[in-house]
Amino acid sequence: MSPALHAILADAILVLHFAYVAFVVVGFVFVWLGYFLGWCWVRNFWFRALHLLAMGIVVAESLLGIVCPLTVWEHDLRRLAGQDPGSEKGFIAEWVHRLMFFDLEPWVFTVIYVVFFTALVGSFIFVRPGRPRAARETPAR
């Protein structure tokens, strides 16, 4: 594969990573906005379960000391592209990195993730999702 293709793939993984983070953070905000504004979709069981699972994966990785695979893949691809993972990104990639990555101690991130996950669990309790559709339907007799 050419270095240019590696760079494009690294940028694609970065955008995917950003979308994942946005889903977790914006999803949380929308759940509470939806609660107060009466949006029915924020109680969708599958959306809420997937949302909780997405953050649960982040917390599990952090507690187990596992580096996010998306970060590893992006850095590996940047190296294969002849780039330093911390520089030589395109305009969009540079700004996405600035929004997502901060220079803090790993334990700080673990605390942030656990607190955020706890808030998500709290939202499951206070803004209860509906039951899955299959569970609501009763067989006709």
Residue 45 forms part of a structural domain: yes
Please compute the mean of the pLDDT values over residues 111-134 and round it to a whole number: 88
d(CA 73, CA 79): 10
Residue 138 forms part of a structural domain: no
Residue 141 forms part of a structural domain: no
Q: Are 127 and 35 in contact (CB under 8 A)?
A: yes
Query: For position 96, what pLDDT does the model report?
Result: 65
Residue 139 forms part of a structural domain: no
Query: For position 45, what pLDDT does the model report?
Result: 94
Residue 41 forms part of a structural domain: yes
Is the pLDDT at 25 greater than 80? The verdict is: yes
Whole-structure pTM value:
0.80
Is the pLDDT at 133 greater than 60? The verdict is: yes
Is the pLDDT at 89 greater than 60? The verdict is: no
Query: For position 102, what pLDDT does the model report?
Result: 66
Residue 62 forms part of a structural domain: yes
Mean pLDDT for the chain overall: 85
Residue 75 forms part of a structural domain: yes
Which residues, at least 6 apart from 112, have a Cβ–Cβ distance to it below 8 Å? none
Residue 21 forms part of a structural domain: yes
User: Residue 62: which domain range?
Assistant: 3-133
Tell me how many domains the chain contains. Answer: 1
